[in-house]
Amino acid sequence: MKINIYDDLIGYEQCSVAEMSELAPVHLSLDERVPGVPGRAFELKSWHRAWKQRHETDESREPVVMKVEAVDEFQAAIPWEQLNKAVFLYELDGKPLQKGFPIRLYVPDGSSECLNVKSVVTIRFLYAGAAGEATYGFKNSVSIEDLRQKK
């Protein structure tokens, strides 16, 4: 499964988990950032810097927000400053993830554990606007029932 990556400065690319983790300079046990949780992870910010280098993009410009979307359409938007310790879990016991495949985001410095998005398939790096608060939830979460009740 490929992961869709959008970056305002670079454009759009699809990467496999293997391609992403090979490029990532910092790999660690997830336990080092999220005590008690097993698995292998790579660091988000150093991966993103390496990815930008590969695309010969201005490294001094940092995103304002990262948005991620999951297979089940759960999504989160997270201010860049909350992502200093963020990692992507990609392997458990040397095998691809059962829960959270293809990769799962963990945000140890995040405002909520709800930001630990499982089964991330789209990642967006946004450079414009204000970061605001982190948000999360299901896309198109307004149901027919909500509309009928005119909430």
Residues of the shown chain interacting with Mo ion in the complex, contacts defined by CB under 5 A: 114
Per the CB < 8 A criterion, the answer to whether 90 and 120 are in contact is no
Of the candidate residues 27, 40, 85, 118, the single one contacting ligand MTE (CB under 6 A) = 118
* DSSP 8-state symbol, 113: G
Q: How many residues bind ligand MTE (CB under 6 A)?
A: 9
Q: Is 117 in the site for ligand MTE (CB under 6 A)?
A: yes
Cis-peptide into 96, omega within 30 deg: no
Tell me which residues in 37-96 interact with ligand MTE (CB under 6 A).
70, 72, 74
* DSSP 8-state symbol, 150: T
Tokens standing for 17? 């988990």
Q: Which one, 70 or 83, has the nearer CB to ligand MTE?
A: 70
Tokens standing for 67? 């948005």
Nearest approach, Cβ of residue 18 and Mo ion (Å)? 30
Residue 41 sits at φ, ψ, to 5 deg, of -135, 160
Q: Is 32 in the site for ligand MTE (CB under 6 A)?
A: no
Q: Is 23 in the site for ligand MTE (CB under 6 A)?
A: no
Q: How far apart are CA 109 and CA 83, in angstroms?
A: 7
Q: Is 31 in the site for ligand MTE (CB under 6 A)?
A: no
- Closest-CB residue for Mo ion? 114
Per the CB < 8 A criterion, the answer to whether 39 and 29 are in contact is yes
85 binds, among ligand MTE, Mo ion, none (CB under 5 to 8 A by kind): none
The residues that touch ligand MTE, with contacts defined as CB under 6 A, are: 70, 72, 74, 113-114, 116-119
